[in-house]
Amino acid sequence: MSFLEHFNQVDWDELKIAINSKTEKDVEHALTVPRLSHDQFLALISPAAEPYLEQIAQKSMELTRQRFGNTIQLYLPLYLSNKCTNICTYCGFSLDNKIRRKTLSMSELEAETTAIKSMGFDHILLVTGEAQGTVGIDYFKEAVKKLKPHFSHITMEVQPLEQHEYKELMELGLDAVLVYQETYHRTTYAEHHLRGSKMDFDYRLETADRLGKAGIDKIGIGALIGLEDWRTDAAMVALHLDYLEKIYWKTRYSLSFPRLRPCEGEFQPVSEISDRQLVQLICAYRLFKPEAELSLSTRESASFRDNVLPLGITTMSAFSKTQPGGYAENTQTALEQFVIDDNRRPEVVAAVIKAKGLEAVWKDWDQSYSH
């Protein structure tokens, strides 16, 4: 049993019609219930809910403070490699883009660690392109083993791995894994993944199941906003999360909302989402899953991040560099995966968080509590 079996029973077009047929009465009812069903979540992401944004946001803020207190977790992505054997139309690391490729050596990784620690971060996200021969399980094991003494929490966003490989990494100190389906629409997925292992839609979709069976502490899922109709993809993400919570109930979950950003290749989004609609989506997820961590990256502008962070966000990146070696060298922008929008230094972001009446949390938990 896996989510794939449930997914194959869902009709994309019917789901899209269900969302767009929601009425103001459906929205008003959804705002009164203590716990949303998936159908009620559809009402809150529907066009009919847009006039109710202030009410949705207010309820989202209240639920977030109740569950997570006045805290915002800060993390930093650490790019290990931009080598990739996939061709994906929307990604700067795509094999067909003529950029300089680099994989960090262990000594370069040490330099990155020093630079990151000097900024105060204790929670990192390891990111690579998908190049199994260069950055495979052996490289990941060496990297996690080297990094764990310096960071209390390590998350990975790399190519899908086997269940036993996740367990090996967990034994070395891996805490969480993010794996985004990009889009849950099969045909559209195939149009944008033209070469490499990422072409396998089903294997990628079942990655969260392998993580759940491995017993990982936290799983992050999401869809890349811009590849397909954002509302229907969001509804699919919600279905996926609902399934995972019921089957792997000991695991924590996080959601991200990556909007397509400019990158090498200049792919243009086919499904635009406005700032107000993105706020609507974030807050609807909070009402649907009050316990889920909601993360917002530096893809978004400083002003947007500042305004939305009290409403439902629990985790944010700051001062991100999307090229390998970006923190120690602070150069080589030609290697980057996409263009960052919010380039503020971490202490500036932390000051904004404080000004909002919240507390920036740099450390996830003491290592003594994770054993």
Of the candidates 311, 298, 367, 304, the residue with the CA atom closest to the CA atom of residue 339:
298
pLDDT category of residue 93 using cuts at 50, 70 and 90:
confident
CB atoms near residue 37 (< 10 Å): 12
Residue 371 lies in a domain: no
pTM of the predicted structure, to 2 decimals: 0.94
Residue 93 lies in a domain: yes
Q: Look at residue 339 and tell me whether its pLDDT is greater than 70.
A: no
Measured distance CA(96)–CA(94) in Å, rounded: 6
CATH of the domain at 7: 3.20.20.70
Residue 260 lies in a domain: yes
Residue 19 lies in a domain: yes
> Reduced to 3 states, what is the DSSP secondary structure of residue 267?
coil
pLDDT in tens, 264-301: 445 666 778 999 999 999 999 999 999 999 999 998 99
Residue with tokens 């060496």: 142
Residue 369 lies in a domain: no
Measured distance CA(56)–CA(49) in Å, rounded: 9
Residue 147 lies in a domain: yes
Distance of CA 82 to the CA centre of its chain: 18
Q: Which residues contact 137 (CB under 8 A, 6 or more apart)?
A: 161, 165, 168, 169
Residue 370 lies in a domain: no
pLDDT in tens, 221-256: 999 998 999 999 999 999 999 999 999 999 999 999
* Buried b / exposed e along 322-343 (16+ C-beta atoms within 10 A): bbbbbbbeeebeebbbbebbbe
10 Å CB burial of residue 171 (0-12, 13-18, 19+) is exposed
Measured distance CA(220)–CA(236) in Å, rounded: 14
Q: Look at residue 28 and tell me whether its pLDDT is greater than 70.
A: yes
The range of the structural domain enclosing residue 35 comes to: 3-363
- Cβ atoms of 333 and 84 within 8 Å: the answer is no
Residue 368 lies in a domain: no
- Cβ atoms of 253 and 212 within 8 Å: the answer is no
| Residue 94 CA: distances (Å) to CA of 174, 179, 209, 320, 363 | 26, 17, 26, 20, 33
pLDDT in tens, 165-190: 999 999 999 999 999 999 999 999 99
- What domain count does the chain have? 1
Say which DSSP state 259 is in: B
